């Protein structure tokens, strides 16, 4: 998901095939989660599901899954790939579909009752998982197949499934003794609850803050669209003739970028960077210490030096040393560029009569002023050309030109919120590919950021493809008055990014659900998303979709030229704040022992160690770092820059032919988008590109190559 905004939540989900759904028919139709789903495309019956249905459905589905697992484990037949590995793959499908709906709604349209159910069910779901992967009889059958795999003559995908199943058992503690297993169960239970609480606290803190402006003079410098949105926010909260700004990115970031009032910038920035760090019931500091300590203990229990060593064994990077090798290589030129950017800001502040060092709440404001001065370019000039509808249609056009697929909005599908739209996705010849939901605007019931998820993952049964159901969830600028939603270019690239993830899920064409779509290592999963961002800014593509929402005029060449001239502007800051968060993630997760230090000093020491300048803070500070404490990216935030090397190198294949070269697009689809995790990611990449990736395209894109040459001379 997009580095700046995302809470990475790539939830796996699958609906049962017709054969599997027969199990649900015997349960009864009083609970829609347990009944057959007689809906268009087999979509979740959101219009029938109520909060009261989740707990009994989850409990019943767990009971059914354990019965399925016990049947495999206690079978008197000799273990075979089909009766053990495939049977295990096909078990728990009812539980998976219910958990998928529940988890997705608990992030995209939550409420107090859903959050309470999640906390109550978390330890039970953790126990259910452990009951499967710590089942000695089941593991014994899996191991017998693993040990004789060379004689089985498995297909490539079957071999990968066997590998994933076997490693899942081992990495879940199957080789531990009983005392160690008991401790592991306790750790898993505690982590499941702490993670949920962390996310709820961040959401609560984000929703609880308001910057209320009553004096119109304090709106100086703010774009009309932002002022209108703040007025609408105030009106919805019963504050007439006032303006309300929030900690949602669509509100706080443009406020920091444009507000002339420095004290108000400081106020909202302070609230933003102190989320879940205020000593109240929503404080996350103690939970972070507990989670970091529990993760370190779990890793050691399983035989690893640290949580990072445990996690990275299953990633492209393989080891913490390889992660540091990459980020250290980029950190030095990025920091040098950021320091030069800071010096420019300092000069402009002094010209404005402001003494003292550059503060974090000054950076975006003065960067915008420098951009206007240096390039005669105001990003607000772009917004009329990037209405949500225009950007969406542009993405459809790009996707159709690359892969031939088409999109049609459908209104007969249940949705979980009135703002959600549903789209039928088909091949050029009309063959059905999948269903796509899109949910764009902030609300109190939705967690911050942007992400792609699935309600059903693709799989094949006896040659028949079960189509995926994919969802994109974002927090873009809302429409105001008579104006449509006008996106910033950052929001535009976020949309392209999440759509890349969606294509990865939609175009998947593999046999097994647990290997399909985005079920790949996190340092590879960002390749399909980040490569899509590259098309967003190409002049040829801008001409296709960037249309003025009033006149229909195409984005002028003059503005396109300014965009290109400013493309690497402020990339020192952008790269440094990202890498700082990456170093912070690694600092927490390369530890071999329990944390005894408070997170404030710990974070400060980690940033001092890398020489982070005080005018920049990590993109995510510890207490709202949802990627690593609530989003599955622990010891994995580096993945965006790792995939950045892949995506910029991969895009070179298009740039050296043409942006829509059919052969290159077909190769990317068949070698990357369709393959899921059926091959090693490095091999999939080489099959597409013909070679390993080079870091040079990434450095050029970020304007860091020149800085590398300067550093080398020094």
Range in 323-332, 477-486, 529-538, 562-571 with the lowest mean pLDDT: 477-486
Residues 195-242: tens digit of each pLDDT: 999 999 999 999 999 999 999 999 999 999 999 999 999 999 999 999
Q: Do domains 18-196 and 197-202+283-376+566-626 have the same CATH topology?
A: yes
Please identify, in words, the CATH class of the domain defined by 18-196.
Answer: mainly alpha
Beta bridge partners of 409: 423
Residue written as token pair 């096909």:
90
pTM above 0.75, yes or no: yes
**pLDDT score of 660 more than 80:** yes
Q: Which residues contact 176 (CB under 8 A, 6 or more apart)?
A: 134, 184, 301, 302
Residue among 157, 498, 577, 603 flagged as catalytic:
498
| Confidence class for position 482, pLDDT limits 50, 70, 90 | confident
**Interior/surface letters 109-125, b for 16+ CB within 10 angstroms, e for the rest:** bbeeebbebbeebbbeb
Q: How far apart are CA 622 and CA 273, in angstroms?
A: 10
Range in 15-24, 598-607, 635-644 with the lowest mean pLDDT: 15-24
Selection from 114, 96, 100 nearest residue 55 by Cα: 114
Helix/strand/coil percentages in the chain, nearest 5: 60, 5, 35
**pLDDT score of 289 more than 90:** yes
Tokens of 33: 């989660």
Q: How far apart are CA 185 and CA 312, in angstroms?
A: 22
Taking residues 268-294, report their average pLDDT: 98
Domain boundaries, the chain: 18-196, 197-202+283-376+566-626, 209-273
Query: What pLDDT, on the 0 to 100 scale, is given for residue 706?
Result: 65
Query: What pLDDT, on the 0 to 100 scale, is given for residue 708?
Result: 54
Specify the DSSP class assigned to residue 317: S
Residues 94-133: tens digit of each pLDDT: 999 999 999 999 999 999 999 999 999 999 999 999 999 9
Residues 335-384: tens digit of each pLDDT: 999 999 999 999 999 999 999 999 999 999 999 999 999 999 999 999 99
Q: How far apart are CA 142 and CA 88, in angstroms?
A: 9
22/648: higher pLDDT: 648
Does CATH place domain 197-202+283-376+566-626 in 2.30.22.10?
no
| Confidence class for position 2, pLDDT limits 50, 70, 90 | very low
Query: What pLDDT, on the 0 to 100 scale, is given for residue 705?
Result: 81
Taking residues 566-575, report their average pLDDT: 96
Q: Cα–Cα distances in Å, from 59 out to 36, 135, 332?
A: 17, 19, 52
Q: How far apart are CA 159 and CA 138, in angstroms?
A: 18
CB atoms within 10 A of CB 495: 27
Q: Which residues contact 612 (CB under 8 A, 6 or more apart)?
A: 335, 576, 580, 618
Taking residues 323-341, report their average pLDDT: 97
Query: What pLDDT, on the 0 to 100 scale, is given for residue 21?
Result: 40
How far is CA 440 from its chain centroid?
A: 15
41/482: higher pLDDT: 41
Beta bridge partners of 483: 480
Query: What pLDDT, on the 0 to 100 scale, is given for residue 481?
Result: 83
Tokens of 343: 């010096």
**Interior/surface letters 684-714, b for 16+ CB within 10 angstroms, e for the rest:** bbeebbeeebebebbbebbbbbebbeeeeee
Average pLDDT score over the chain: 94
Q: Is 491 a catalytic residue?
A: no
Selection from 370, 346, 364, 361 nearest residue 265 by Cα: 361
Signed CA dihedral, 665, 668, 669, 670: sign only: positive
Taking residues 269-295, report their average pLDDT: 98
């Amino acid at each position: 998901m997009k580095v700046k905004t995302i809470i990475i939540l790539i939830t796996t989900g699958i609906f049962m095939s017709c054969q599997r759904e027969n199990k649900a028919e015997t349960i009864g139709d009083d609970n829609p989660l347990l009944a057959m789903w007689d809906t268009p495309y087999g979509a979740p019956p959101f219009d029938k599901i109520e909060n009261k249905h989740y707990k009994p459905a989850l409990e019943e589905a767990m009971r059914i899954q354990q019965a399925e697992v016990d049947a495999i484990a206690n079978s008197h037949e000799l273990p075979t790939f089909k009766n053990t590995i495939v049977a295990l793959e096909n078990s728990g499908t009812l539980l998976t579909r219910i958990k998928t709906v529940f988890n997705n709604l608990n992030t995209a349209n939550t409420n107090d009752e859903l959050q309470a159910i999640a906390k109550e069910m978390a330890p039970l779901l953790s126990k259910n998982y452990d009951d499967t992967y710590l089942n000695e009889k089941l593991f014994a059958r899996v191991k017998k197949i693993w040990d004789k795999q060379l004689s089985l003559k498995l297909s490539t995908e079957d071999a990968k499934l066997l590998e994933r199943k076997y490693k899942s058992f081992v990495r879940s503690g199957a080789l531990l003794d009983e005392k160690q297993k008991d401790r592991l169960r306790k750790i898993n239970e505690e982590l499941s609850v702490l993670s949920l609480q962390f996310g709820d606290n961040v959401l609560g803190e984000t929703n609880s803050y308001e910057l209320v402006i009553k004096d119109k003079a304090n709106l100086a410098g703010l774009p009309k669209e932002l002022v209108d949105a703040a007025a609408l926010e105030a009106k919805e909260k019963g504050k007439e003739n006032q303006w309300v700004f929030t900690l949602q990115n669509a509100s706080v970031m443009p406020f920091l970028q444009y507000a002339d009032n420095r004290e108000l910038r400081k106020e909202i920035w302070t609230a933003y960077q102190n989320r879940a760090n205020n000593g109240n019931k929503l404080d996350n500091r103690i939970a972070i210490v507990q989670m970091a300590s529990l993760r370190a203990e779990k890793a050691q229990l399983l035989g690893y030096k640290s949580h990072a060593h445990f996690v990275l064994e299953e990633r492209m990077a393989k080891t913490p040393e390889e992660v540091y090798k990459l980020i250290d290589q980029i950190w030095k030129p990025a920091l040098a560029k950021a320091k030069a950017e800071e010096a420019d800001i300092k000069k402009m502040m002094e010209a404005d009569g402001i003494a003292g060092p550059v503060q974090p709440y000054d950076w975006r404001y003065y960067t915008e002023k420098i951009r206007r001065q240096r390039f005669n370019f105001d990003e607000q000039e772009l917004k009329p050309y990037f209405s949500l509808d225009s950007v969406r249609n542009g993405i459809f056009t790009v996707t159709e030109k690359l892969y031939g697929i088409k999109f049609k909005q459908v209104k007969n599908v249940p949705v979980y919120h009135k703002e959600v739209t549903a789209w039928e996705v088909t091949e050029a010849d009309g063959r059905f590919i999948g269903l796509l939901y899109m949910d764009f605007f902030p609300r109190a019931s939705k967690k911050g950021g942007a992400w792609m998820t699935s309600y059903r993952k693709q799989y094949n049964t006896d040659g028949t493809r079960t189509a995926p159901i994919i969802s994109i969830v974002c927090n873009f600028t809302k429409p105001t008055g008579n104006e449509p939603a006008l996106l910033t270019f950052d929001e535009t690239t976020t949309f392209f990014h999440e759509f890349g993830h969606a294509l990865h899920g939609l175009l998947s064409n593999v046999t097994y659900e647990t290997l399909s779509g985005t079920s790949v290592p996190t340092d590879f999963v960002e390749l399909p998303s980040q490569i899509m961002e590259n098309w967003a800014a190409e002049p040829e593509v801008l001409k296709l979709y960037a249309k003025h929402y009033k006149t229909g005029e195409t984005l002028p060449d003059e503005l396109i030229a300014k965009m290109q001239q400013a493309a690497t502007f402020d990339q020192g800051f952008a790269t440094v704040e990202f890498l700082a968060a990456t170093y912070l993630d690694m600092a927490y997760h390369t530890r071999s022992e329990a944390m005894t230090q408070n997170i404030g000093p710990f974070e400060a020491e980690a940033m001092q160690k890398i020489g982070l300048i005080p005018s920049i803070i990590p993109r995510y500070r510890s207490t709202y770092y949802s990627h690593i404490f609530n989003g599955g990216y622990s010891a994995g935030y580096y993945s965006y820059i790792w995939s950045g090397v892949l995506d910029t190198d991969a895009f070179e294949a298009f740039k050296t032919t043409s942006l829509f070269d059919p052969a290159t697009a077909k190769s990317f689809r068949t070698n990357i988008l369709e393959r899921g995790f059926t091959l090693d990611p490095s091999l999939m990449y080489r099959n597409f590109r013909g070679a390993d990736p080079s870091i040079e395209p990434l450095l050029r894109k970020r304007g860091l190559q020149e800085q590398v040459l300067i550093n080398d001379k020094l």
